[in-house]
Amino acid sequence: MGLFDKFKKEYYINRLVTAFKIVYDCGDMAAIYCLREHYSVKELKELFALLKKSEEAGTLQSALRIARPFKEKQDDVDVINWKYGGK
């Protein structure tokens, strides 16, 4: 992974952290860790495009709560959140 790819990945992570926190009710560090470790740049870009489209259509909250666009299980995120001392 080149330097530019790392910057791109961090950009998408920063844009998606809030949505991840809403879906899993976790802290910042747990959200950042999950997005860094479990997603490629391509997957992050696709998630960002999906959420941006939902936001423009006015269905973002429904997309986050019902569809759960992320692939983690709640229990896994809870363990990571506990490790980082989140909520």
Q: What is the pLDDT of residue 86?
A: 63
Question: What are the tokens at 1?
Answer: 């992974």
Give me the pLDDT at residue 67, please.
62
Q: Which residues of 63-86 are buried (b: 16+ CB within 10 A; e: fewer)?
A: bbeeeeebebeeeebbebbeeeeb
Residue 12's SS3 state is: helix
- pLDDT tens digit string along 30-85? 999 999 999 999 999 999 998 888 888 887 777 776 666 777 777 788 888 888 77
Q: Answer yes or no: pTM beyond 0.85.
A: no
Pinpoint the alpha helices (H) of the chain: 3-24, 28-38, 41-57, 60-62, 74-83
